[in-house]
Amino acid sequence: MTLLAGPDGASAVLAALDGLREVLDELTLPLDVAGAGEARAERAEVLDQLSDYVIPRYEQLEAPLLAVVGGSTGAGKSTLVNALLRDKVAVASAIRPTTRRPLLVHHPDDAAWFADDRILPGLARVTLAPGAPAAPVTGEGAHHELELRDSAELPPGLALLDAPDIDSVVTENRQLANQLLAAADLWVFVTTAARYGDAIPWALLAEAAARRIVVAVVLDRVPTGVSAEVRQDLAARLEEEGLGRAPLFFIRETALDADGLLPAADVASLRGWLHGIAADAGSRASVARQTLGGAVDAALERAATVADAARAQIGAQNALTAQVDEAYAQAHQRLMAATADGAMLRGEVLARWQEFVGTGEFFRSVEAQVGRVRDRIGSFFRGRPAPAEQVGVAIETGLQTLLVAEAARAAADVDHAWRLEPGARTVLARATAALTPEDQLVDQASAQVRGWQGDLLGMVRAEGADKRFTARMLSFGVNGLAIALMVVLFASTAGLTGAEIAIAGGTAVVAQKLLEAVFGDDAVRKMTQAARADLHRRAGEFLAAQAAAYRGALAELAVDPDAPDRIGAAVTAVRAARRAEAGL
């Protein structure tokens, strides 16, 4: 719907449109999920139309109309512009593409409207003096420039813009052509009798119909004797596309005159139509309002599509984050399970513990006489302190290996999951580059284990601070009691088989009895729980530090979780302002 009542409410509409442009300008769609490329192009096109046409036209409804002459390759657009102006101001050539730098021609009195960046602010102005010869423009800069000329052959209030081909082999030409057409108040769409059925022109004309743009269709190079048949077919097609009211002009296939121009009679009807619109202020305003209203409606619809794409980005980021959380949570669970199922008492740790406590005869004496056990272990500690350190080192090495292995497995799980996710390859590469190198990973794991062992030693000292335990503490040694506490923490037969079960079972009994003889069963239970909680915390910190590489890569994407709501609010604000402007 077209809701343009006049300038009174324009300030509110402009503020709302500026708000929409700001929200879309701040939006990023960094993940290459399905449809992301199309959504980025949609966002760019909406921003271009808001900046190039909608907002400037809203700001100055009285500005001259801009008629863009567009169409297919070789349709004769530049030749038509020259014929309308009765001057060779545009380059016409059989070499394609001909038009690289767009040409805007205006009446001399209208120069001020186009010299600044009121419309098409992204194109630098190049002003040529009247009579300057038209010449081909090449180079990369041509796509970022707008050539300005004045001509008294144009009436005040109307400008013509010769645009590049909509189906050019040069990508920049096609993009620029679409941008210029989106900035037009009306289209003069040029095609030929031989190519008017091509798909690209009709796709563009369908878009014009959907946006209610005022369009004039020019069928160029119509062979003698077929004009009636072609006219009937083309008119029927225009009717099907919703453009039945578009004026249709025919230019016969003819030779250029002595000045290198189409005969004036061949373009007289089109020239008269354009001059008629420009001569009447009411007609100009009607064209501007119709095209502007359709452009705003189209921009709001496309903004809603971009909002959907923003939701898809948020969903994709959340899915990737969930995979990181899941991988490292499972690693944490496996790690803690491995410290509780007896697996830590295999191999080196178990061998060093056996050396620490002595022979099988020692095990048999434990349950019979705790006091004798205490005395023997005390003597053992005083005479041979080294084995306790060896057990501690073996435990540190085992835990360190376990931490590093689980971190590596979690990283592999994330790598596998993200490779299956569309659009995650780029962010995966950044995350992988930020992962902790293996040597540093080992150092970080060792630091956590040593920290845990240090906390455990401190716990033993604190628990034995009561004077009633001082003697026993001195007998067994803080290090020895801490080692025993670690063994109790790791002791379980769930992960062991065969002879390992009996060995681990005896190991656990020795450590448990030893600790209970010193601290009592309730204190041992509390210390075991505290030691496990501390290990759980430190393992989590270690794994979280590794997961940070993935979370950091996701954070760098700067996906705004509020973007869909902010776009929706901006669209709603524009619609409300337009209704208020129209007094509805």
CA 12 to chain centre: 31
Residue 46 confidence (pLDDT): 94
Nearest CA to 121 among 50, 29, 170? 50
What pLDDT, on the 0 to 100 scale, is given for residue 502? 43
Q: 173 and 206 share a domain?
A: yes
SS3 state at 552: helix
Q: Are residues 532 and 392 in the same domain?
A: yes
Decide if 333 is inside a domain. no
pLDDT value of position 320: 96
Residues 47 and 72 occupy one common structural domain: no
Model pLDDT, residue 22: 97
334 located within any domain: no
* Last residue within a domain, chosen from 228, 253, 279: 279
For residue 127, is it within any domain?
yes
Q: How many domains does the chain contain in total?
A: 3
pLDDT for the residue 91 = 73
| 432 occurs within a structural domain | yes
pLDDT of residue 174: 80
Q: Would you state the pLDDT for residue 468?
A: 56
DSSP letter string over 294-318?
HHHHHHHHHHHHHHHHHHHHHHHHH
Does residue 95 sit within a domain?
yes
The predicted pLDDT at position 47 comes to 95
Query: How is residue 82 written in tokens?
Result: 């020259």
Same domain as 153, residue 49: no
User: For the segment 46-74, what is each residue's pLDDT rounded down to a tens digit?
Assistant: 999 999 999 999 988 889 999 999 888 88
Please check whether residues 541 and 392 belong to one and the same domain.
yes
User: Can you give the pLDDT at residue 393?
Assistant: 74
What CATH number did the domain enclosing 260 receive? 3.40.50.300
Dist. CA 167–CA 70, nearest whole Å: 10
DSSP assignments along 36-101, one per residue: HHHHHHHHHHHHHHIIIIIHHHHH-TTSPEEEEEEESTTS-HHHHHHHHHTS--S---SSSS---S
Same structural domain, 547 and 406? yes
Q: Is residue 424 a contact partner of residue 418, using CB atoms and an 8 Å limit?
A: yes
pTM over cut 0.85: no
Quick check: is 413 in a domain? yes
Residue type, 364: R
The pLDDT of residue 359 is: 40
Q: Could you check whether the bond before residue 7 is cis, i.e. omega within 30 degrees of 0?
A: no
- For residue 14 the two structure tokens come to 């402009």
Residues 39 and 147 in one domain: no
Residues 71 and 31 placed together within one structural domain of the fold:
no
Q: List the one residue out of 218, 149, 211, 216 whose CA is nearest residue 183.
A: 211
Same domain, 269 and 361: no
pLDDT at 230: 84
Residue 323 lies in a domain: no
Indicate the length of the chain as a whole number: 584
Within a domain: residue 232?
yes
Q: What is the DSSP string of 462-531?
A: HHTTSGGGHHHHHHH-HHHHHHHHHHHHH--STT--THHHHHHHHHHHHHHHHHHHHH-HHHHHHHHHHH
Do 518 and 388 share a structural domain? yes
The residues, any chain, with a CB within 8 Å of residue 233's CB and separated by 6 or more, are none
In this prediction, residue 1 carries a pLDDT of: 41
Q: Give Cα separations from 1 to 293, 300, 574 (angstroms).
A: 7, 12, 13
Q: Which residue stretches of the chain have pLDDT < 50?
A: 1-8, 94-97, 99, 359-385, 467, 493-505
Asked if residue 101 and residue 41 are part of one domain, the reply reads no
Same-domain check for residues 129 and 34: no
Structural domain containing residue 139? 63-279
